[in-house]
Structure 1
């Protein structure tokens, strides 16, 4: 998933959460558009953070898999001798 898609998806979820909140409170949806922008910005930042976390986790997992493969290779070489 790309960075932009992640940010936009989280931002739209933030907008939906804000609209849902106002619906529960039975307040007008377009009364305070700044609140919508704040919710979208906050959730968009969460989407950016989640994307960065996912990228970092993928790098760590790849390094760990390479390390495990190297250990297995050494163990196979030692046991066959």
Structure 2
């Protein structure tokens, strides 16, 4: 998902949450647009943070997978070397 779509999605959810909040309180939905802007900005920032976190998590997972693969290859090479040395002793 792109950064813009993530931010817009979270901001839209923030606006919907604000409308839900005012609806529960039975207040006019358009009496205080500043509150709407705060909700949109807050949830938009949360969307930006979630996008950045997703990118960083993908990088960490890729690094960890590469490290695990390297260790597996080393273990396989060690086992093959040990097996070859066992065969040559017999």
Aligned counterpart, 2:43: 43
In the other structure, the counterpart of 1:67 is 67
Whose Rg is larger? Answer: 2
Shift >4 Å, 4+ stretches: none
Structure 2 gaps of 5+ residues are: 82-90
Structure 2 residue 4 is the aligned partner of structure 1 residue 4: yes
Per-residue deviation, 1:60: 0.6
Match of residue 76 from structure 1: 76
RMSD: 0.4
The equivalent residue for 1:34 is 34
Query: What's the TM-score once normalised by structure 2's chain length?
Result: 0.89
